Amino acid sequence: NEGRHLKKRPTGFRVDKVLQPFDGSKFNFTKVGQEEILFQFEASEDGEAQFFPKAPIDADSSPSVVAINVSPIEYGHVLLIPRVLECLPQRIDRESFSLALYMAAEAGNPYFRLEYNSLGA
């Protein structure tokens, strides 16, 4: 993506450790604007994909959301943000990895790709 480095939000921390504790004073996914949230995503219990266009987001359950990436690598590049309100450190764990795999399965498209966006990427 030409010019990606110009649109990227500035990194507000040193990137000398892979796992850093959550710091609410720096940029984090709770600061993503509402206009950047596309929809809430959760794995279906019956394996069937469903879309509810006006479903309210349940803030009490710390939803996983799909948001616009303001500095996309490629067309259609979005962010899957697991349990956004739990203020998790940016790392892969079993639950978030499973969520990403569910999203890929529900997309049902051989061109759908998953990518992990690490700190400072």
Q: Residue ranges of the alpha helices (H) in the chain?
A: 4-7, 94-107
Most confident of 47-51, 74-78, 98-102, 116-120: 98-102
List of E strands, the chain: 37-41, 64-68, 78-81
* pLDDT tens per residue across span 42-92: 887 787 777 777 777 777 788 899 998 888 888 888 999 999 888 888 788
* pLDDT tens per residue across span 30-46: 888 888 888 888 887 78
Structure tokens at 66: 């799909």
The answer to the question of residue 116 being in a domain is: no
The answer to the question of residue 25 being in a domain is: yes
The count of structural domains within the chain is 1
The answer to the question of residue 114 being in a domain is: no
The residue range of the domain holding 100 is: 4-107
In angstroms, what CA-CA distances link 46 with 50, 77, 102, 109?
A: 10, 27, 12, 19
The answer to the question of residue 117 being in a domain is: no
